[in-house]
Structure 1
Amino acid sequence: MRRSNLPAELNRFVGRTIEQAALTALLDASRLVTVVGVGGVGKTRLALRAAAAAQKRYSDGVRLAELAPLRDPDLIEYALVEALDLTDHTPRPPREALVEHLAERRTLLVVDGFEHLVEHCAPLVRELLEHAPGLTVLAIGRRPLRVAGEVVFPLAPLGEEDAMTLLAERAAEAGAPSLPGAEADAFHGVPTPAGAPLHPGTAAARPGGPARGPARTGDRDAVRELCRRLDGIPLALELAAGRLPLLSVEQMLYRLDDRFRLLTDGARGALPRHQTLRTAIGWSHELCTPEERLLWARLSVFPGPFDLEAVEYVCGGPELPPERILDLLGGLLAQSLLTREDTPAGPAYRMLDTVSAYGAEWLAALDDTDRMRRRHRDWYMGLATWCELEWFSPRQPEVAALTEAALPHLRAALDLCLELPEDAHLAQHLAGTLWFAWVGCGRLSEGRHWLDRALALESGHEEARLKALWVLGYVAVLQGDGTAAVAALHECGERARSSRNALAEAYATHRMGCLALLTDDMPRAEELIGRALDAYRELGELNSNVLMAQIELAMARAFRGDQEGAGVLSREVREVCEERGELWARAYALYVLGYLAWTRGAFGEARELLTECVSINDSFRDLVGLVLAIELLALVTVSEGDAEEAAVLQGAAVPVWDTVGVRLFGSEAFDVPRSLCERQAEEALGAEAYGAAFRAGQGLSAAEAVERALVAGRNPAVGGPAEESAPRPFRTAGTATVPGTRKPAGSPTGKGGEAAG
């Protein structure tokens, strides 16, 4: 796990030296510090700098959870789970997983944008602090949480000199002529060429405004007055800076004095700084062209970063031709109304919450909110469908990154589908289509949340319901919730037979076979998965799910001692994956093939296969596949004669399993490599030395465990096999289930949890 998910700063941080030192000191003395202030005053920027400066004091890292995009308070816990890189496949509430995860860790959790969810967020923060003595929370919002022990840090606007410096630097970044102001000369921006035309539609081009002409600088007093009028609010100053390539400081002062006097004075009961901020945003709005204003309003339906293609579809129309969108985005970007960032999914744009809220008011005034939300939903439903198809392709890494980036939008789409009874089928369809996100990208708990809500509604669309049912069954199997899994899969099978939907019936049968595999009923697993594979072949179905069925069948056969049959199935999967560029299922085929190589005594081959498996699973952040491969790699290592390294790898697997869920799914069959390795390593080292090496491994982070496994793979131990390490098949206690002895399925979690299903 990365020690921090704090975003990188895109430009120089100005001022706030005293405030940053004070906030950092408070984090030393208090476990809950809340930075409060008006929107746009710079709360987030300051808090993130303080968090970054303090991160060395937190051995388990600093994590940022952004709550502003959320509408549903039930998603707060999932947002924290995601921020902590916590994967938990158990059916327990995510709050319990959070408490358990944080209980023994020293972590700084930064919670930003909670004010609209404060009634739900405050009790959660209080509970986490009560149960996790090593946890410190840095909250950022417009009002306090009002939790016992909270220290409130009110953030005032910038002082005069810092405000002038910020305005000068941001204006230079925007290409404006240099401004007089503190430290302005030290910042070398690129000036706008003399005679640069004013933006179309500005006040200077209208009757009553200053005469049209080239942008010119004001003197120091004018700059000071502008900063004063904007109350030193960083967002207001940055918006002003975005206009300085086009307007002089005097022109801006004129506009504040004249056009927005009513806006400033007329908001009865509003705090002066709220009035100023609204004035600044309204002023930027007024300076936009009609097309830019319309785009601004429509962009407010995006709850997170968005890309060009999404904007062209969602916001385009007769008034905003798609071919104009790029230029209009550029205009908003130049005015500091948008920011551009590079993400793993590609370039994206982001609109500040305060700016977006202003746009939402205008969209509501246009009576166009509902239509735009539907268009937004339709785009992301289409994106989810494309991602599901492309998951079985060389684009899997791209799909995973795209899904991660689109998560706020997919949540908003699901929310909208669930709002209206007539859209229940869309909720079921979308929740089912996203199976690869719930399973392949480590979000089983959130997937369960959406699937349960969607299936609680009667949609009248059988196909959508059937898909949601087998996906729910799949998720419940991997969570170890056998009762819910059987209920969902039984309903799916019965309804599929009634409606003659052979494909849905095959998926229900397949997932029942997964449940049998995880509960050590290998004969039943073979029978059900084999029947599902026959149906898939007859129906012409071929995708990652089908390949995983073959791998699961190979596992069942390997556990029963049929090494030849398991090898044939696994090699077939690897070949198909190589032809199609599929990586996720390939990693699990490599896992089985690595085991089979170990049974033949081909330790070098086993190590090579498992090292590649570790590398692929790490790239997908697939913790289930990763920890399974590390456990088996430990067995290979002790077989090669390096018992100490094997013990370290076994210890390294423990914290990963703690993140994933119940160790080795609670399965006797999956536990064989671990128990065999433990016995051999302890016999070779002695109990004391084994325990010391094991504890050293436990102290490794997931990233360090991966590096240890990969380094060990490049530098295998030299020496013969350890005593009693002769290869032998993994076997369960018997081929039939003995009443009263079957263990419940465990709770694998982590991206790609299909390792066992």
Structure 2
Amino acid sequence: MTTPAFELPSIGTGLPQQPTSFVGRHHELREVRRLLGDHRLVSVVGPGGIGKTRLSVRAAEEYRRAFPDGVRFVEFAALRSENLLSQAIADRLGLETRDGPESSADDILIEYLRNRRMLLILDNCEHLVEGVAALASRLIEETSNLRILTTSREYLAIPGEYVFHLPPLPTHAGTGSGAVELFANRAESALSGFELSDSNAEAVRRICQRLDGLPLAIELACTRLNVLSVEDLAERLDRRLSMLTVSARGRTPRHRSLQATIDWSYELCSETERTLWCRASVFADSFDLAAAVAVCSDDVLSEDEIMEAAAALVAKSVVVRETSQDGVRFRLLESIREYGWGKLNVPERRHMNTNLLEYCAHIIEESTASWYGPEQLARATAVSINRGNIRAALHSVMNDPAEPALVQRAADTLGASRFLWACGISVREHRMWLTQALDLPGVSRTARGRILTVLALVQTLQGDRDAADFTLRRARELAGDREDPVTRSFAVHITGLRDFFAGRPDSGMAYLDEAERGYQLYGSEPELVSMLQIHRGMLLCSTQDVSSAAEAFNRVFTKTDEIGELWFHSYATYGLGHVALLENAPDTAVQRALEALRYQREFADPIGKTVMADLLGWALAAQGHGARAAVVLGAASSMWGSIGQQLYGADHWNTLRERAVHTARRHIGTSAFDAAWARGQAMTAPELLAYIFDEDCTGDEHPVPDRGRFTRATANADTSQLELLSPREREVADLVAQGLTNKQIAEKLVLSPRTVEGHVEHLLRKLCLSRRTEVPRALFST
């Protein structure tokens, strides 16, 4: 099979890339650092445009080395529901959450963060302040070392919160003024060759004072320098602010400053640019040019005009241009987005929400239609990078179901989205939207039946079998034998999966057989047939019918390989690895598990990664790699706990897990096993994959190790925690033991000092050490 051309975004810090340099705020940076040392919850508060987000990002960049478990930046501007606050944080942490009485999203977060020394930055909290306050309060109360930094126009008002009111930039005369420094920096970007001089210094100072040192207002004003001199700019601002002061006496001076600057930017835009500005405000997250055309164009605004207007708005600093592995995307700052949205009347807003829903529905439907083919990963990526916009579109329908056609469109889309949970929309969130869709008025019987079958699949994957049983009964009643026979067959299929996971293989197989006959009779989509074969193979493994299981997996493996499909191929590869393990061929099982994970890591599918990691742990234990097996099994156990029941509660798989745990513990001893298991349990899915494929914590990727590392030939070397280190980390550890500094190690290994610093931090964590002086003892005591 060919190498995938697309990748879903990896789970990283989430810190946004800034298109311009950071200017001033050095005193504020020092103050934030001091506050984070003394307080566990710090809220940076101030009006829109004062630079709260910029300061928090810079603080995270400068101080993240002080947090051994990392920094995570979570943007809340795109959220419209307090129900998704925990999910948004879990997404950034790479965690999967589930509904049900056993655990909530909050519980999963707390369990993960309980003992971690991490900085969590929650950005743009003002529109969800009550929900953020409740969540932050619980996180602080039930964790020991977590630090939280929030940015908001309104503070949370909870015990333990230290409120840091971010002041405007100082506007006094001279180059030492933060406001003047920012103006000079941005003016040089807008007008090449601009320099602060004695002749223009007074006008610059007056501009900064009139704008109250508000960074966003200053940046917007600087874009006018391509047509105005500094003196003209100062004079015009004087007139504008005087008029606004008269017409808006109820507003604070800084609010008037920003309002005046955005008003002026708006007035200086062409009619076409204004139209795009207002319409693009419907996007809650970033968007590309194709999205802007699909959502914003009509007879008034053509595709060519959108391209020209977008370029002009970028030049005017109204729209931010971002470049990433997903290509060029655009984003509106929240203050500017709110301004544009406020310019639309209610009918116009509804029209734009309708367009956004249509665009998002199309993305989801394209993913569904391409799920069994070579475009699968590209379409899954499109869903993932538009997650914020999809949330906004669905939220608009759920909260304003006044248009029947719009409601039906959303219901039809969700009823067809069987694999949305593997495209960046988590299992929990997928379940939430499906549940809410069932409450929408006027949804057709067919759509309701399809929504119910997808909901039953999600509930079954979560291990919530009681809820799934109720949902399946309703689904079969609505689908019937004639109304929607394929949906009814799918409901029967999921009933078989539910019985299989519940430990009833005979009835499970009977239902799968019935579903397969229905698929053949009514001509179902090929992905349903492949899914059924994967489930059949898993069930046959549990009954020790190894040859029949291999036949089922091979059928999917061959067909998917022929067409370049990746997701089902990863499950078929996993299945063949499971067969190999049952046939006492652990080397083959390891190779199959690694291969499956290489495919699976491209998708945001927690179920696949977990079941494949478990297989890898079983096979590593059978090879004699006790420490590596313990890490992988510990991580898989933690991941299962956040999804649902361990190994779906299946006796066969739990027996294999227990056998692998016993084998690994016997190889390395209880103490080493417990330490390795704990290390694994603390890992997120991305961290586990980085460990499996020997990628360091700084993101530098090394080649996948020779599979010989996992063979019996090296089993005898697996006697301590040292095997937890990657080859590069062991190399760095040897040099640390010799007394070399990070700079000397960097020169010797031709790495950057920062990369070496990351290696050292990572190996200290793996070896449970607090100081580098302890490394020699750890290396040479075994």
Shorter-chain TM-score category?
A: 0.7 to 0.9
Alpha-carbon distance between aligned partners in 1 of 2:463 and 2:247, rounded to the nearest angstrom: 59
What residue in structure 2 maps to residue 752 of structure 1? none
1:179 aligns with 2:162: no
145 and 684 in structure 1: CA distance in 2 versus 1, 3 angstrom threshold:
closer
Could you tell me whether the CA contact under 8 Å between 1:520 and 1:668 is conserved in 2?
Answer: yes
Structure-2 residue corresponding to 1:368: 348
Residues 462, 643 of structure 2: 8 Å contact kept: no
619 and 428 in structure 1: CA distance in 2 versus 1, 3 angstrom threshold:
same
CA distance in 1, matches of 2:305, 2:711: 65
Q: Distance in 2 between matches of 1:309 and 1:120?
A: 34
Distance 1:671 1:310 in 2: 47
Q: 5 Å matches for 1:424-463?
A: 424-441=407-424, 443-463=426-446
Name the residue aligned to 1:236.
217
Instruction: Say if 1:632 and 1:673, in contact at 8 Å, map to a contact too.
Output: no
- Aligned partner of 1:356 in structure 2 is 337
CA shift, 1:442, in A, is 5.7
Q: Which runs of 5+ in 1 are unaligned?
A: 183-217, 724-757
Structural RMSD (CA): 2.4
For 2:51, the aligned partner's letter is: G
Partner-residue secondary structure (3-state), 2:539:
helix
* Aligned-pair CA distance for 1:293: 1.1
Letter in 2 for 1:97: I
Partner of 1:71: 80
Please state how far the C-alpha of 1:399 moved relative to its aligned partner: 2.3
**702 and 457 in structure 1: CA distance in 2 versus 1, 3 angstrom threshold:** closer
In 1: Cα distance, 2:663 partner to 2:87 partner = 41
Q: 1:50 aligns with which of 55, 59, 72?
A: 59
C-alpha contact (below 8 Å) 1:297/1:362 kept by paired residues: yes
Do the aligned partners of 2:368 and 2:416 also contact (CA within 8 Å) in 1? yes
The Cα shift of 1:100 comes to 2.8
- Other-structure match for 1:212: none
Shift of 1:407: 1.4
Return the alpha-carbon distance in structure 1 between the equivalents of residues 111 and 590 of structure 2. 34
Could you tell me how far 1:287 is from its partner in structure 2? 0.8
1:67, CA displacement in angstroms? Answer: 1.6
Aligned-pair CA distance for 1:265: 2.9
> Compared with structure 1, are the counterparts of its residues 575 and 142 closer, same or farther at alpha carbon in structure 2 (3 Å cutoff)?
same
Residues 693 and 119 from structure 1, CA distance in 2 versus in 1: closer, same or farther, beyond 3 angstroms? closer
The aligned counterpart of 2:395 is: 415
TM-score (normalizing by structure 1):
0.86
Residues 523-538 of structure 1: matches in 2 within 5 Å? 523-538=506-521
Which structure ranks higher in relative contact order (CA pairs < 8 Å, sequence separation ≥ 6)?
1
Amino acid at match of 1:324: E
- Deviation string 1:49-68 (CA, Å, 9 cap, x unpaired) is 11232322333322222222
Would the aligned equivalents of 1:89 and 1:660 in 2 still touch at CA under 8 Å?
yes
Cα separation, 2, equivalents of 1:118 and 1:695: 35
Residue equivalent to 1:86: 95
**Paired residue for 1:323?**
304
> Using the alignment, how far apart are the partners of 1:224 and 1:147 within structure 2?
39
Answer yes or no: is the 8 Å Cα contact 2:624–2:664 preserved in 1: no
2:284 pairs with 1:284:
no
How many aligned residue pairs are there?
A: 687
Distance 1:246 1:557, change over 3 A: same
Displacement of 1:267 in angstroms is 0.8
Amino acid at match of 2:419: F
Match of 1:333 in 2: 314
| 1:577 matches 2:586 | no
Partner residue of 1:310?
291
Please identify, of 419-428 and 48-57, the stretch whose mean Cα deviation from structure 2 is larger.
Answer: 419-428
Q: How does 1:556-705 map to 2 (within 5 A)?
A: 556-698=539-681, 702-705=685-688
Q: Deviations over 1:600-624 (max 9, x none)?
A: 3433332221111122222224333
Partner SS, residue 709 of structure 2 = coil
User: In terms of mean alpha carbon deviation, does 706-715 or 72-81 score higher?
Assistant: 706-715
Q: 2:20 aligns with which of 3, 8, 11?
A: 11
**Residue in structure 1 matched with residue 537 of structure 2 by the alignment:** 554
Residues 391 and 133 of structure 1: CA distance in aligned 2, closer, same or farther (over 3 Å): same
Residue 61 of structure 1 is matched in structure 2 by 70
Match of 2:501 in 1: 518
Q: Which amino acid aligns with 2:389?
A: H
Residue-by-residue CA offset, 1:95-118 (whole Å, 9 max, x unaligned): 333333322333222111111221
Does the 8 Å CA contact 1:513/1:529 hold for their aligned counterparts?
yes
What are the Cα deviations for residues 378-423 of structure 1, in whole angstroms up to 9, with x where unaligned?
Answer: 2211222112212322233322322122112111221222222534
Identity, % of aligned positions: 33
Distance 1:597 1:357, change over 3 A: same
Is 1:102 aligned to residue 113 of structure 2? yes
SS state of the match for residue 33, structure 1? strand
What SS class does the counterpart of residue 349 from structure 1 fall into? strand
- Partners of 2:134 and 2:31 lie apart in 1 by 27
TM-fit CA distance, 1:496: 0.9
Question: Under a length normalisation based on structure 2, what TM-score does the superposition of the two structures give?
Answer: 0.83
**Contact 2:184-2:196 within 8 A present in 1 as well:** yes
User: What do residues 635-673 of structure 1 show as CA deviations (whole Å, max 9, x unaligned)?
Assistant: 322333434443343334344334444322222122232
Separation in 2, partners of 1:116, 1:695: 38
Q: Tell whether the 8 Å contact from 1:90 to 1:661 is kept in structure 2 after alignment.
A: no
Please report how far the alpha carbon of residue 139 of structure 1 lies from its aligned counterpart in structure 2 after TM superposition. 0.9
What is the Cα deviation at residue 477 of structure 1?
A: 0.8
Q: CA deviation at 1:527?
A: 1.5
The Cα offsets for residues 59-104 of structure 1, whole Å up to 9 and x where unpaired, read as 3322222222222232323223323322023424323333333223
Task: Give the AA of the match of 1:142.
Answer: R
